[in-house]
Structure 1
Amino acid sequence: MKNFIWSLILVFAFQSCARVGQPVGGDKDTIPPRFLGANIDSTRVKVPRNIREIKLKFNEYIKLKDIQKNLIISPPIKKITKIIPTNLPTKFVSIQFEDTLQENTTYQFNFGNAIQDNNEANVLRYFNFAFSTGEKIDSTYISGEVKDAFNIDNNTKANQNKTVVGLYQYKDSIDYKKKPYYISRVDDDGYFELEYLTQGNYKLIAFSDDNENSIYDAGAEKIGFQKEPLTIDKSISKIKMTLSPSQKKVKYLETKTVEGGILVLFEGDPKAVKIASVEESLGDFKVRHRQYSDSVKVWLKPFGKEQKKSKRLQFSYQIGTKKDTVSTYYKPLEKVEMTIQNKKGNKIPPKKEFIFASNFEIDKIDPQKWSLKKDSTEAIQFEAKIVKDNPYQVVVNADFKEGEKYQLTVPKESVASYFEKTNKSYRFDFEIDKSDNFGKCEFRLKNPPSSKFWFQLLDAQKKVKFEQYTNAPIIKFDLLPAEQYYVRILVDENENEFWDKANLEKQIFAEKSYIFYKILTIRPLWEMVEDWDLTTDKKLKAKIRKAPTKKMKNRLGNTQGNDTNGFPNNGNNNSSGRGNPFGGGLNTELQRGF
């Protein structure tokens, strides 16, 4: 019996020793793996150039998470054949490659957040291993901070910052389609550090490596750079860089069949595109291109009996001095009616026009055939016109009164595109909202831009809801819906009425942008007055929170923690302009009732 018991104990002991997993009992392990050594001599210098493996040893079993995304090798080693561990945990990391290393060069392997212990996934953050094929390991470094000019709420999840900083060896022509000579990831606070650098002249860039291939993709990723070469003859710190949206090189992409014709697509926001028919294959057509848009709409007159057959079209396009010819086959979509609809909702803000839109570009309207009535009986005088900047829309202006209901009747064939007309009548019922449901805001700018700019209010999805193109130091918005907004300025430095993105190839910085460091909260019958010094370094750290639904408000009982729109307050739920509706602390804005 005793032998049997001892046999069970020995079996259990062997199983415990052989298992690599979570130990039972005791405090939770919070300590990351510890580096013990490598297959390279401890001095890590004079490493043979023909070495084919780097092996790093640790004090416990480890695993590698997203190693392809995390591992950065500077200078790059191209032909990596194997990385261990893969599926099963080990007590070492092995990187095997075919490249012959460069002479007198310091190499570094930055593992980011890839190395984790097997039990609790404790991360050995930004583990960096360096060695040299020369007499010494280079000790020069540069460090600094990268900020994203378009990251409105600084919403970067922990360990999800994909921004990288890279150095290219400086020369007259730099191939940015290759990986930088030195490269490092930016941490979640925007800090970067490039270590073990050989002294010399370099080109410094930073980019949002969204596809994590360590190569800058123009137009798809944000970019920041220094125009002048960076001379590194000693360590440099406190370098400041700013990421901005980048511009793609202009080129033709494709042609698609759409309602009423074809859509010609480009990359790179061409300023102007000219379209011409080749051998009259387009027949009767109209071209619409909005400046700096990446698409051109070509409206085609139906081809009569051949309408249902595929037809070969040839046309030329010209962008600046560049000309080319395109051939495509066009088969019209099934007959699509021209329609109009109200996309703005049935409640119209006071002092605003009524707007309806079409699925076709509108070329002509006949408002003399229309009728506008109040309460279905009283005829109202009005004016109507096609929106110049958006010919898919028509605005109807009249002496609308708050709280009144109106009916607009648009008979068939009184709205026309180039080759189509509406084939039925439409009636739009709408009501003018009361100004009591809206708020106001005023911004007083200190150190404003010297050129014109767009002053924008954005919603929670960062879509522009309201904007003004101006150069005034005082900006006012009347009749704003009771919501929360992000506030942004885009400066039109060259006043071409287009916000220009960064272009690394041409060494052109993006035009300036500013983000207000607070969320703008609009409440009914309140006017918010804000002073904004554009030279401030304050950053917006809050996010717009969705207001509770009506059902949720009822459940909450509308306590003093929220105002009637669901936004937080401090219990001073009045419209007199007194108190701090943001709750607690001193704030700099004024609130006025109106």
Structure 2
Amino acid sequence: MKSAALRSIIVLFILSIASGCANIVPPEGGKKDTKPPKLLEVSPADSQLNTKASKIELRFNEYIQLNNPSTEIQVSPLISLPITSQVTGRKVVIKIPDTLLKDNTTYRISTNGAIKDLHEGNAFPPYTYTFSTGAYFDSLKLSGVVYNAATGLPDTGAFVLLYDFDTSDSIVVREKPRYVAKIGAEGRFAFDGLPSKKFRIYALHDANGNLVYDGKEEMIGFRDTLVEPLPDTVIPITLQSFKEIFIDTLTEKENKRKPAMFADRKPKEKLILTFSINADTNINKRSFDVTKPLILAFDKYADTLHKDKMLLTTDSAGADVEVAYTMVRDTVLKNNVWIKAAWKDDALYTVRFMKAFAKDSNNNESAPVKYTFRTRNDEDYGIIDIRLPLKYKDRKYLLMVTADKDTVYYKPVTDTVVVLKKMNPTTYSMRIVVDENKNGKWDTGDLFEKRQPEMVIPYIGNVPLKAGWESVVDFEPKPKIKDKADTSPEKRDKPPTK
């Protein structure tokens, strides 16, 4: 009996080892499928004349799935109702409301990236199905480039819209376009298969995807004249996209209408009016930018400022020396106050605020506080030496230098050489504004007043700047001549001349 039990244990042990080994080694699979689906049949046949296709069937060699069909599958020209699509095994069915199709019009259904195989997700290449409700195919073309008017650089985030020539100039705010093209690389767009007729043309940054200009957060561009497609595009069309200025006076009017009975008559609890400064108080670190003001950022608007309750001093051989300053309010950020002074390099400053230095409309006062900070040294900055062509030496040209979203220089061009000192080490961009009305700033356009934005000429590329170095930049670099070894590059970095 003992031997029988022993044999059972041995059998179970062997089976467990065999089972474990079988689980460790999985069966080998084949190579991964990387081929896209293959289109086997289209019904009705592509490129039919005198037809109104209401249902198009695409049959493939494998099972299919759809990827964002509502946005990827498009019809041109647009129709007022969306087309629908569904998958049945290896077949894609696209349905079109044929009652909305116009006579003597060429329609193109583009699948873009909507069709993929079911298992591996391999995309079927973009495919266009064409049919005409008339006896011929429209085959004219229209192309061009869209620029961002504020920067002068190509705009790659917009759509270009075409409307029939006999519509009003306000059609872009009321209805979807007849034809639409997405802008590609370098701001370029192209329409193919257009009819022989004139169109109104617009560029649109469509924030909500409705293909209608809604103003405010959207950008628009237009052409003063109608455009007409040709068999071959000879002269590209240029559009400038811009953001209009909208003044909203509703809030102001509502505040004026607000009855006094709604005012809170309860006595308000007295609070402390607080603020912060734009300076690092680590005195061992040279951090404060001498080219900028000291900014007091209040938590709410300070109605009253007592200059006699603020003292600005600098350390001179261990003694505090009072520093002259001016105090101005920020015209944009209303809660901010600027303290301007002739800041010295690598100097230690202390600013003291006594109690009730500032008060708000509820008579809340600021508390006493003291800040100490150290300014940067000259070696913490760089120099940009900009060389401009003589043709821009005119007060109607404004040179604009920016770093990220900050404008660091914005003045009329009065010389062909502009040297900018004490520049923070970062990457800069430049442009020239053609200030036609000479008001000292760039003016945007207006759609309904038919006013185009002022032209902007960008510097192509960026200007990287290192601390303690000088960057020499030719705004319009001369073409490089390969035969000459001494040809100068457009940018030349070197330590600044002492």
Shared topology, TM-score over 0.5?
yes
Shift of 1:496: 4.4
Compute the TM-score of the two structures, normalised by the length of structure 1.
Answer: 0.66
Selected match of 1:472 from 396, 404, 414:
414
**CA distance in structure 1 between the partners assigned to 2:63 and 2:271 by the alignment:** 65
For residues 493 and 512 of structure 1, do their structure 2 counterparts lie closer, same or farther at Cα, with a shift above 3 Å needed? same
What's 1:163 paired with? 158
Aligned-pair identity (%): 22
Counterpart of 2:65 in 1: which secondary structure? strand
What's 2:400 paired with? 455
Counterpart of 2:472 in 1: which secondary structure? strand
Shift of 1:437: 1.2
What's 2:266 paired with? 306
Equivalent position amino acid for 2:34 in 1? D
**CA distance in structure 2 between the partners assigned to 1:91 and 1:162 by the alignment:** 34
Counterpart of 2:379 in 1: which secondary structure? helix
With a CA cutoff of 8 Å and minimum separation of 6, indicate the structure with the bigger relative contact order.
Answer: 2
Shift of 1:433: 1.8
Selected match of 1:527 from 470, 490, 493:
470
2:4 is aligned with 1:25: no
What's 2:25 paired with? none
**CA distance in structure 2 between the partners assigned to 1:280 and 1:452 by the alignment:** 50
Equivalent position amino acid for 1:72 in 2? Q
Shift of 1:420: 3.8
Mean Cα displacement is larger for which, 414-423 or 219-228? 414-423
**CA distance in structure 1 between the partners assigned to 2:278 and 2:259 by the alignment:** 38
**CA distance in structure 2 between the partners assigned to 1:437 and 1:499 by the alignment:** 32
**CA distance in structure 1 between the partners assigned to 2:57 and 2:164 by the alignment:** 29
Selected match of 2:373 from 417, 430, 454:
430
Equivalent position amino acid for 1:456 in 2? V
What's 2:6 paired with? none
Selected match of 1:241 from 238, 242, 245:
238
2:44 is aligned with 1:109: no
What's 2:54 paired with? 52
2:346 is aligned with 1:386: no
Shift of 1:193: 2.4
Selected match of 2:449 from 494, 499, 506:
506
**CA distance in structure 2 between the partners assigned to 1:123 and 1:97 by the alignment:** 27
**CA distance in structure 2 between the partners assigned to 1:444 and 1:402 by the alignment:** 28
Contact 2:197 2:229 in 1 (8 A): yes
What's 2:15 paired with? none
Contact 1:72 1:184 in 2 (8 A): no
2:128 is aligned with 1:225: no
Counterpart of 1:389 in 2: which secondary structure? coil
2:337 is aligned with 1:337: no
**CA distance in structure 1 between the partners assigned to 2:260 and 2:462 by the alignment:** 54
String of CA shifts for 1:434-484, please: whole Å, max 9, x gaps. Answer: 11111111222224375253613223xxx2152324343443332122222
Selected match of 1:84 from 86, 89, 103:
86
Which structure has the highest strand share of the two?
1
2:40 is aligned with 1:39: no
Rg comparison, structure with higher value: 2
Shift of 1:164: 2.4
**CA distance in structure 2 between the partners assigned to 1:475 and 1:78 by the alignment:** 55
**CA distance in structure 2 between the partners assigned to 1:392 and 1:218 by the alignment:** 28
Contact 2:273 2:298 in 1 (8 A): yes
**CA distance in structure 2 between the partners assigned to 1:384 and 1:197 by the alignment:** 64
What's 2:141 paired with? 141
**CA distance in structure 1 between the partners assigned to 2:293 and 2:187 by the alignment:** 45
For residues 209 and 173 of structure 1, do their structure 2 counterparts lie closer, same or farther at Cα, with a shift above 3 Å needed? same
For residues 78 and 345 of structure 1, do their structure 2 counterparts lie closer, same or farther at Cα, with a shift above 3 Å needed? same
**CA distance in structure 1 between the partners assigned to 2:430 and 2:358 by the alignment:** 38
For residues 500 and 281 of structure 1, do their structure 2 counterparts lie closer, same or farther at Cα, with a shift above 3 Å needed? farther
What's 1:207 paired with? 204
For residues 205 and 91 of structure 1, do their structure 2 counterparts lie closer, same or farther at Cα, with a shift above 3 Å needed? same
What's 1:358 paired with? 298
Shift of 1:337: 3.5
Shift of 1:80: 3.7
String of CA shifts for 1:120-161, please: whole Å, max 9, x gaps. Answer: 43434442221111111112222333344568998x9xxxx6
For residues 162 and 363 of structure 1, do their structure 2 counterparts lie closer, same or farther at Cα, with a shift above 3 Å needed? closer
Task: Report 1:478-493 matches (<5 A).
Answer: 478-493=421-436
String of CA shifts for 1:496-524, please: whole Å, max 9, x gaps. Answer: 45543343333322222343322222222
**CA distance in structure 2 between the partners assigned to 1:522 and 1:42 by the alignment:** 58
Counterpart of 2:225 in 1: which secondary structure? coil
**CA distance in structure 2 between the partners assigned to 1:355 and 1:180 by the alignment:** 48
Contact 2:271 2:364 in 1 (8 A): no
Contact 1:83 1:96 in 2 (8 A): no
Which structure has the highest helix share of the two?
2
**CA distance in structure 2 between the partners assigned to 1:432 and 1:132 by the alignment:** 72
Unaligned runs of 5+ in 2: 1-27, 282-286, 480-487
Equivalent position amino acid for 1:436 in 2? E
What's 1:74 paired with? 76
Counterpart of 2:260 in 1: which secondary structure? coil
Contact 1:382 1:396 in 2 (8 A): no
For residues 406 and 189 of structure 1, do their structure 2 counterparts lie closer, same or farther at Cα, with a shift above 3 Å needed? closer
**CA distance in structure 2 between the partners assigned to 1:60 and 1:427 by the alignment:** 75
For residues 59 and 522 of structure 1, do their structure 2 counterparts lie closer, same or farther at Cα, with a shift above 3 Å needed? same
**CA distance in structure 1 between the partners assigned to 2:159 and 2:264 by the alignment:** 57
What's 1:373 paired with? 313
Counterpart of 1:99 in 2: which secondary structure? helix
Compute the TM-score of the two structures, normalised by the length of structure 2.
Answer: 0.77
**CA distance in structure 2 between the partners assigned to 1:467 and 1:71 by the alignment:** 47
**CA distance in structure 2 between the partners assigned to 1:383 and 1:199 by the alignment:** 69
Mean Cα displacement is larger for which, 380-389 or 132-141? 380-389
For residues 224 and 385 of structure 1, do their structure 2 counterparts lie closer, same or farther at Cα, with a shift above 3 Å needed? same
Contact 1:458 1:486 in 2 (8 A): yes
**CA distance in structure 2 between the partners assigned to 1:399 and 1:189 by the alignment:** 45
Contact 2:57 2:91 in 1 (8 A): no
2:475 is aligned with 1:515: no
For residues 89 and 410 of structure 1, do their structure 2 counterparts lie closer, same or farther at Cα, with a shift above 3 Å needed? farther
Counterpart of 1:143 in 2: which secondary structure? strand
Equivalent position amino acid for 2:327 in 1? K
For residues 527 and 132 of structure 1, do their structure 2 counterparts lie closer, same or farther at Cα, with a shift above 3 Å needed? same
For residues 592 and 44 of structure 1, do their structure 2 counterparts lie closer, same or farther at Cα, with a shift above 3 Å needed? same
**CA distance in structure 1 between the partners assigned to 2:121 and 2:234 by the alignment:** 33
String of CA shifts for 1:83-103, please: whole Å, max 9, x gaps. Answer: 113xx7533342243634211
Counterpart of 1:382 in 2: which secondary structure? coil
Contact 2:302 2:361 in 1 (8 A): yes
Shift of 1:487: 3.3
**CA distance in structure 2 between the partners assigned to 1:25 and 1:55 by the alignment:** 32
For residues 514 and 412 of structure 1, do their structure 2 counterparts lie closer, same or farther at Cα, with a shift above 3 Å needed? farther
Shift of 1:79: 2.9
